[in-house]
Amino acid sequence: MKLSARNQLPGTVRTVTTGQVMAEVVVDVAGGHEVVAAITAESARRLGLAPGKHIVAVVKSTEVMIGVDD
């Protein structure tokens, strides 16, 4: 798989919670962090997402916000 997107985070699926329309996918990424994605339930089924599956989370965004404690 080759993509033009630069924000690619390799990881492992931790959990998939599937509803009738949407699925929430929790992914473990490097350094013990997690990314949570909301995708269609059909996409989750089509991709065969299940705990332990190695995936790449691709972040598509036109804006990244950064916050700091004062």
Q: What is the pLDDT of residues 60-69, one digit of tens each?
A: 877 878 899 9
**Is residue 15, in this structure, part of any structural domain at all?**
yes
Residue 64 belongs to a domain: no
Q: Is residue 63 part of a domain?
A: no
* Cα dihedral 6, 56, 44, 18 sign: negative
* Domain assignment of residue 68, yes or no: no
Q: Is the pTM of this model over 0.85?
A: no
Residue bearing tokens 């004062």: 70
pLDDT in tens, 48-62: 999 999 999 998 877
Query: How far is residue 11's CA from residue 57's CA, in Å, rounded to a whole number?
Result: 7
CATH of the domain at 13: 2.40.50.100
Any bridge partners for residue 22, and if so which?
40
